[in-house]
Amino acid sequence: MEKNISKPLVEKVKYNSVALKKFENKLVSSRDSKEDEILFRYPTIYIVNDKYKHTKGVNNEYSVYVGETNDIKRRTNEHLLIDSKNEEFWREIKNSPNSEMFLIGHEHFNKSLTLDLENRLMHYMSGIEAVKSISNKRTNQQNKYYTSDELDIIFEKLWTELRDKKRDLFPSINVIKDSAIFKSSPFQKLTLEQFEAKDQIIAKIEENLNREKNGQLIWVTGEAGTGKTVLLSNLFYELYKSAAENSDNVILRNRTVSLLVNHDQQVKVYQQIASKLGMTDDNNPEMVTKPTHFILNHTPEEKIDVVLVDEAHLLWTQGKQSYRGKDQLDDLLNRARVVVAVFDPSQILTTEEYRSLDWIQKSKLNAISHNNYIKLENQMRIHGNKETVNWIRTLVDESKIKDIPKDDSFDLKIFKTPHDLLNAIKTKARDERNGISRLLATFDWKYVSGKKDENGNLWQVTIGDFSMPWNLQLPRPKKIKKLPWAEQPQTIDEIGSTFTIQGFDLNYAGVIIGPSVKYRNGKIIFDKTASKNKKATQKRNSKIDNSQEFLKNELNVLLTRGVNGLYIYAVDEELQNQLLKAQGE
């Protein structure tokens, strides 16, 4: 039963000492002693905002600061009189005629609750497109405390009040939650498992740096959806803060930190996070980049202290393009004192990423022997029950199709035609309460990046009279090119692949299982002759054929993207019939 909790008090005032004093006097003169007490005697939260300094001809882009305090008058004077002398943000706020503050109070506020709300506000505001920079960058996640059960209720009521006062700065919660930046934000509240993993990693980093060891490898592993990216984002931000010149951490102070990911879509997200939080500047413009760029621009003689690698299973294990080495992980270990690698062998998709089972096992045992191995176990992406998660895992891992379980919290459905599948996904996508929904497919239809087909047309996924273009082909406005593929509005009319969706999630994922996946003699098999993914089907060094493993991993990635639902259509007739049978048809 939901508690009967009043909505927070939210007042908007110009951000200067005079305006704040006038507002307080107004409350006193109106004899509204309760409101005066809540806003000026209780702990409060405040959101300072102003037009973003780099905006050109746009009125709805903002710089913001989220804070909490036990004395709003004292804190305001500190910002305006002291901080403005040392920090550009407060100097601009002080001199701007348009800066304003939302002052937030509640009779249930205490220090722990305001810190938790401050952290959540920064998490949500980091995912707002109109917010271009956030100046208070501390993370204040709290554990259990007296009023912790009121956090969700008060936050929802607070957001409603803020939206009523400034809708372009405070969009709907559903829109924010669809943002890849929101999902990867360092302000995302960690689970106990993630929190303990982060502490363990930082302790190992400090130990290795203190002993002046080089080339130390820390493995972080876990299946798709276990929260590896959120952990890494939080860790990255924690290390960045600890490396500051004025940091209290004597081991990490003034250390160099870089984050790498070999995925075009994911690197965009990390770069946007770093930009919003002011992590990149003229002295460190490439704190977030791709592995090849990092390797070409750093030498083993001038080592980086800590390198974090997300999606480390995408690192190349052979030369390609401008990379002339043999193994990117080895090259990173030669250029860093500590490498933290997030690795999931079941997401290796191509020959250029291939690592033998023997290599994986030896690396795992070596990491375990040095207490450098961390595994996340808890499934956090798929909001289904245990039976639903097991159904997906059994299909992928054991090539068996069991009866689809009943699950009121996750919509798992087989569709009879690709048209029906598309219509269902578009219906979900039209309602913003459902979040982002997109079509995906196994790479079984030809696609060549940057080119048209032999008739000068877009590359299509074609099944009978059904036809839709592959991803990254439809025209897109320049202003949205930095957004991940799934967040771009025109992509509802495209079909995504592992190359655009790996590392991300969808609220509802519609998956077309192409002809490379078949059902024969009671089990799923993979037919490499039906795949158009040459990176998965070509032999490594013309000797080793790992296509079965890669095609299985491709299916694994696609079937684990959905948060609230997974919709499937299979091209292979026997597979489609078996899936429908599992659904009771």
Whether residue 163 is predicted with pLDDT greater than 80 in this model: the reply is yes
Residue 214's pLDDT band, with cuts at 50, 70 and 90, is confident
Both structure tokens of 556: 């694994």
Please tell me the predicted confidence (pLDDT) of residue 1. Answer: 43
Across the range 200-224, mean pLDDT stands at: 91
Residue 433's pLDDT band, with cuts at 50, 70 and 90, is confident
Please tell me the predicted confidence (pLDDT) of residue 333. Answer: 96
Please tell me the predicted confidence (pLDDT) of residue 31. Answer: 57
Q: How far apart are CA 403 and CA 110, in angstroms?
A: 50
Please tell me the predicted confidence (pLDDT) of residue 56. Answer: 57
Please tell me the predicted confidence (pLDDT) of residue 32. Answer: 60
Both structure tokens of 446: 């030809």
Read out DSSP for 98-160?
Answer: S-EEEEEE-TT--HHHHHHHHHHHHHHHHT-TTEEEE-----------TTGGGHHHHHHHHHH
Q: Domain spanning 192-375: which superfamily? A: P-loop containing nucleotide triphosphate hydrolases (3.40.50.300)
Report which of residues 73 and 508 the model is more confident about: 508
CA distances from 177 to 64, 123, 173, 487, 498 (A): 19, 10, 6, 11, 22
Residue 3's pLDDT band, with cuts at 50, 70 and 90, is low
Please tell me the predicted confidence (pLDDT) of residue 37. Answer: 85
DSSP, collapsed to helix, strand or coil, labels residue 465 as: coil
142 Cα distance to chain centroid: 21
* Domain chopping of the chain, boundaries: 9-171, 192-375, 386-582
404: left (phi over 0), alpha (psi -120 to 50) or beta: beta
456: left (phi over 0), alpha (psi -120 to 50) or beta: left
Q: How far apart are CA 94 and CA 351, in angstroms?
A: 56
Q: How far apart are CA 550 and CA 172, in angstroms?
A: 40
Q: How far apart are CA 366 and CA 373, in angstroms?
A: 9
Q: What's the CA dihedral at 525, 527, 531, 536 to 10 degrees? A: 80
Overall fold of domain 9-171 = GIY-YIG endonuclease (3.40.1440)
Strand partners, 519: 524
Q: How far apart are CA 366 and CA 381, in angstroms?
A: 29
Fold match between domain 9-171 and domain 192-375:
no
Across the range 167-191, mean pLDDT stands at: 90
Across the range 430-436, mean pLDDT stands at: 81
Across the range 241-257, mean pLDDT stands at: 91
Residue 485's pLDDT band, with cuts at 50, 70 and 90, is very high
Q: Are 530 and 326 in contact (CB under 8 A)?
A: no
What sign results for the dihedral spanned by CA atoms 490, 495, 501, 505? positive
Q: What is the mean pLDDT of the chain?
A: 90
Q: What is the pLDDT of residues 137-153, one digit of tens each?
A: 666 666 666 777 888 99
